[in-house]
Amino acid sequence: METKNLFNLEGKTAIITGGANGIGKGACEILAQHGANVIIADLNINDAKNTAEEINNSFGKNLAIATECNVLKDEDLVNLVNLAKSEFGRVDILVNNAGGGGAGRENPFKISVDDFARVFQLNVFSSWRLSQLCAQEMKKNAYGSIINISSMSSINKSPNISAYASSKAAINHMTANLAFDYGPFGIRVNAIGPGATKTHALSTVLTPEIEEKMLKGTPIKRLGEVSDIAGAILYFASPISEWVSGQILFVNGGGVQTLD
């Protein structure tokens, strides 16, 4: 078996939301490294442009495009898929990565229904909608891989994080069910549940005390790096996982990290 082809993404087009920084940036880099064209869709257009430039410089070809996109706006999601079609003619891989909220700071007595709904809008509804738009394109080639970025919070139980944690749990179940909807069209749907991973988002809540406690619950004695999560994204994006769908892969050093 020629194993190197199992990670070959040449000729494929990937959309990565929140691709300018953190885990999304790691996804853009690793997918481009394996030959994919990547569309870096981010709220922060300056960072997205910088990431695209870094990728294009390091691979010596124009593999990456930056575009401003707020995943909360339906119009932006529609434009994003149209851009992929006009620039590269197809969509093969979608990484629903933009997300957030909570950060262990939700006061259950004060959080409003609107706040709760916003977290679901960002983490669940936008991913569902962009999956729908991309699946329409993927089915034309009977080929696609949708990768949703969930979280360890989707299965952990902790205080002050009920909106974020339940939205990520919804992503897990959405993933498993969409795998049934889109599977017959050659489209796989999987999710990754990162443990605590060193990004800007984590740095806003991490203290030395919290890190020490996290490491006590983690057999592999370090926090996650973006490259750890990017490796799992490459696996789901590539032909090597072509009979894997509906799965949630937790990448967490074998342990549990919580913010409390």
User: Which residues are catalytic, by number?
Assistant: 164
Phi, psi of 68 (to 5 degrees): -75, 130
**All residues at 6 or more sequence positions from 213 whose CB lies less than 8 Å from its CB, including other chains:** none
**From residue 160 to residue 199, what is the string marking binding to ligand NAD with x (rule CB under 6 A)?**
----------------------------------x-xx-x
**Quick one: 25 or 143, whose CB is closer to ligand NAD?**
25
As a whole number of angstroms, the distance between CA 48 and CA 144 comes to 24
**Which tokens hold the place of 249?**
């892969």
**All residues at 6 or more sequence positions from 130 whose CB lies less than 8 Å from its CB, including other chains:** 15, 17, 71, 77, 80, 81, 94, 96
Q: Contacting ligand NAD (CB under 6 A), which of 13, 17, 67, 166?
A: 17
- The least distance separating ligand NAD from the CB of residue 192, rounded to whole angstroms, comes to 8
Strand partners, 17: 41
45-64 positions binding ligand NAD, by CB under 6 A? 47
Phi, psi of 40 (to 5 degrees): -95, 105
Contact indicator for 30, 234 with CB cutoff of 8 Å: yes
**Quick one: 18 or 253, whose CB is closer to ligand NAD?**
18
Select the span of 5-13, 14-22, 111-119, 172-180 touching ligand NAD (CB under 6 A). Answer: 14-22
Binding site for ligand NAD (CB under 6 A): 17-18, 20-24, 42-44, 47, 69-72, 97-100, 122, 149, 151, 194, 196-197, 199-202
